[in-house]
Amino acid sequence: MAKIIECIPNFSEGRDREKIEKIMDTVRGKEGVKLLDYSSDTDHNRSVVTLVGEPSKVEEVIINMAEKVYELIDMSTHEGGHPRMGALDVVPFVPISEVTMEECVEIANRVGKTIGEKFNIPVYLYEKAATASHRENLAKVRKGQYEGFFEKIKEEMWAPDYGPKEVNVKGGCVAIAARQPLVAFNVNLDTSNVEIADKIAKTVRHLGGGLRFVKAMGVMLEERNIAQVSMNLVNYEKTAVYRAFEMIKMEARRYGVSVVGSEVIGLVPMKSLIDCAEYYLQIENFSMDQILEKRISE
């Protein structure tokens, strides 16, 4: 089998379709790389891209994407509901086939060094690529966001791994990682009170004493006038999607609020959804070998 990695770059533009498409043109039709998915959210003012390919080709595409992102996005005027620290906000690399996590760490370092030097951007490594334990968690790295980094970067413990020791006013900073696959899963509530979503998120997330491997925050969806609990499940095999969903429903009842829908952002492993079907349908003795498409593709 060929060496394959996945990369899920997030950039801080979700409203200007012309800019988004110009950035995506740096990915489309590139040899050795396949664009699997991309989606934009106007409330978050953010786009999430999923691509796979040969490691060296993916590295090349990410650098080209970064160049276009830094050309088109100005963080000094950016507003959005999702935490962010830079125009190119996060760039996680995930091993898929014949690639080790250690190799993804090396890729994260190479890409980080190039972005830091070529575009004059402070670079922070997180998850498996982190250079210190306090940098493993993206939420801790990104705390303070773009606006807060002008002071945060002056602290010795938050000096960047690559690039200058001052924030790039236009481009901000970037966080780059090597990590396992995660599930980005959001739950919408029938309330316009974002404080309720914040309280539920605090209860559900691991840092608040909630579910292990769950990161959560409250977000206001202005266009729909509803609040949302936005989550990353960083180990869906140990904390299943349905478990987080049921806990949110339970906590929402405390405030007289109901769940009106949910959404998956980007691509997710099939098993994460099969686990939900198995749970809700109470299927006994189920096996992945019973999935028609899986057997056909073997």
Active site residues: 82
What DSSP element (H or E) covers 245? helix 241-254
Say whether 276 sits in a helix, a strand or coil.
Answer: helix
Please tell me the total number of residues recorded for the chain in this structure: 298
Return the axis-axis angle of helices 101-119 and 55-72, rounded to nearest 10°. Answer: 30
Residues 6+ apart with CB under 8 A from 163: 112, 115, 116, 117, 120, 121, 122, 123, 173
Closest CA to 122 of 96, 139, 142, 136: 142
Per the listing, tokens 């370092």 go with 109
Closest CA to 196 of 256, 269, 131: 256
Give me the half-sphere count of Cα atoms (radius 13 Å) on the Cβ side of residue 115. 39
- Taking the C-alpha atoms of residue 68 and residue 26, their distance in angstroms, rounded to an integer, is 8
What DSSP element (H or E) covers 228? strand 226-233
Burial (CB count <10 Å: 0-12, 13-18, 19+), residue 267: middle
